[in-house]
Structure 1
Amino acid sequence: MKQMKFLGLALVAIFATGILFSSCDNNDDEVNKTPHVKINFNTVTTPMTVTDRLKSAMEAKELAFTSGFITLREIQFEVETDNDSIEVEFELEINTQIDFATGETNPDISFVEIPAGTYNEFEVEIELQDEGDSPSMVLDGAYIDANGTSHPVRFEFNSGETFQIEQEGIIVFTTNTSALTHITIDPTAWFAEVTNEMLTNADKIDGVIVISETQNTDIFEIAADGLDFSSEVEIEID
């Protein structure tokens, strides 16, 4: 079932805008261009600290996700003025995968045009694919236990969720302006409430701690709830 979720620590968008200048020789021939937004996905692969609430920090261990994929069905941009709303939508003809190790997408969905204007709200919605039995998100990593032993971990998420991030306040897009959008995907936010005890006692499939709707569901529910945090967006204008 599809749900709307707001990602804060999970998805953080940073918009950096600046005027695009051509060479002096081409100034007379320069045609005003529609503003466009370039999309970069930043995936966080650094380890997070895992500890038990009743134990000391000396016993804290690590959990990290370093590879995998996230399959998108649609990305939608919407900008609003005081009088109306202009909606810009990506209609992806095929599912688009984000390589979690690199942040690159296949096929490329790196930019979208935004009509020039002054807006008081900027919103981005990302919808995961929900067709078939294959998970829309699979992240692979490792958990290091109290003895320093590394255990393979796989997080599987299979739902057509729609994630939303938004920014309110005056945002100006002028002709020949380029906006850079960094969407940061940080699994450490989703697993912030998971403890060493949970991971140490987790069931394994062929030596792998699989966290999904059917395996280690206590950990999965914490991670899924972590996707509900309110969003945070920063816009930097050059």
Structure 2
Amino acid sequence: MAAIVLAGFSFTSCEKDDDNNPNGNITLKVNTTSTSSVNLKSSVAANDLVFNSGTITIREVVFDGEVGVNSVSRTISQIADINYATGTVSPGVVIEVPAGDYTGVNLGIELQDDGSDPSVVIEGTYTNSSEEITPIRFEFNSGEVFEANAASVTIEAGSDLVGKITFDAISWFSTVTPDELDNATLTEGTIIVSETKNSDIFDKVADRLDVDTQAVFE
């Protein structure tokens, strides 16, 4: 698994924030599947899928919570690229908030959706039952929002609270069958799964993004 720590953007706050409190940090971490493979939904063990490169582009990170009688909100509007293979992020992000005992906490991460370029591009290979290897590329362009929620969280001064998002492209493809990939249309020798190419497979994968992208506080 590749782990990503985002660090270092400016923030904005709402008027209710108590900025006289000592501050703590919300550190965002992202886990991704790397060179791991998994069998597809099939009894044919030879069929497998590997994703080992790509980019996920985010545009905004939002923190909301209640501390005492005050509401705290931080919004970071900044485009950042998550390298799916190496776990690097450019640039990195830390959200600074007043320390305290929070309730109703939400951390949201929104994908970039401006323009025609996909916000998610994940690349790898598909090996069929004859052990033939074909490149595969998944493209997704939407302002999808992934969230971590907690009923209560304590943020200590000078300490980090981790909001961890797991992007698992292998699980996104878990309902796709080997037959579907065996019969997929190739574009210059590559299986491209997007809204306009192999759209039946794309619909299955896109439906799994919310289900198999997990977010938790640690």
Question: Normalising by the residue count of structure 2, what TM-score does the alignment of the two structures yield?
Answer: 0.82
> Is 1:48 the equivalent of 2:42?
no
The 3 A distance-change label for structure 1 pair 193 and 82 is: farther
Is the Cα–Cα contact under 8 Å of residues 61 and 75 in structure 2 kept in the other structure?
yes
**Partner letter of residue 138 of structure 1?**
V
Percent identity, aligned pairs only, is 36
Structure 2: gaps of 5 or more residues: 1-20
| Aligned residue in 2 for 1:104 | 88
Please give the alpha-carbon distance, in whole angstroms, between the structure 1 residues aligned to 2:54 and 2:136: 11
**Partner letter of residue 37 of structure 1?**
I
| Aligned residue in 2 for 1:22 | none
Please give the alpha-carbon distance, in whole angstroms, between the structure 2 residues aligned to 1:65 and 1:113: 33
Q: Which residue among 88, 101, 104 is the counterpart of 1:121?
A: 104
How far off is 1:235 after superposition? 4.2
Structure 1: gaps of 5 or more residues: 1-31
Within 5 A, what are the aligned runs for 1:77-92?
77-81=63-67, 83=69, 85-92=71-78
Q: RMSD of aligned C-alpha atoms?
A: 2.1
3-state SS of 2:203 partner: helix
Within 5 A, what are the aligned runs for 1:25-174?
33-45=22-34, 46-52=36-42, 56=43, 58-81=44-67, 83=69, 85-92=71-78, 95-109=79-93, 111-168=94-151, 170-174=152-156
Is the Cα–Cα contact under 8 Å of residues 46 and 131 in structure 2 kept in the other structure?
no
Q: Which residue among 154, 176, 179 is the counterpart of 1:197?
A: 179
| Aligned residue in 2 for 1:223 | 205
Please give the alpha-carbon distance, in whole angstroms, between the structure 1 residues aligned to 2:118 and 2:215: 28
Please give the alpha-carbon distance, in whole angstroms, between the structure 1 residues aligned to 2:213 and 2:190: 32
Relative to total residues, which structure has the larger strand share, 1 or 2? 2
Please give the alpha-carbon distance, in whole angstroms, between the structure 2 residues aligned to 1:151 and 1:232: 29
Q: Name which of structure 1's ranges 180-189 and 151-160 shifts more when overlaid on structure 2.
A: 180-189
Please give the alpha-carbon distance, in whole angstroms, between the structure 1 residues aligned to 2:214 and 2:121: 24
**Partner letter of residue 199 of structure 2?**
T
**Partner letter of residue 160 of structure 2?**
S
Is the Cα–Cα contact under 8 Å of residues 51 and 61 in structure 1 kept in the other structure?
no
3-state SS of 1:114 partner: strand
Runs of 4+ more than 6 Å apart:
none
| Aligned residue in 2 for 1:9 | none
Please give the alpha-carbon distance, in whole angstroms, between the structure 2 residues aligned to 1:135 and 1:231: 18
Is the Cα–Cα contact under 8 Å of residues 146 and 210 in structure 2 kept in the other structure?
no
Question: Normalising by the residue count of structure 1, what TM-score does the alignment of the two structures yield?
Answer: 0.76
Is the Cα–Cα contact under 8 Å of residues 168 and 212 in structure 2 kept in the other structure?
no
How far off is 1:127 after superposition? 1.2
Is the Cα–Cα contact under 8 Å of residues 43 and 102 in structure 1 kept in the other structure?
no
**Partner letter of residue 88 of structure 1?**
R
> Is 1:210 the equivalent of 2:196?
no
The 3 A distance-change label for structure 1 pair 228 and 176 is: closer
Please give the alpha-carbon distance, in whole angstroms, between the structure 2 residues aligned to 1:234 and 1:165: 5
The 3 A distance-change label for structure 1 pair 232 and 120 is: farther
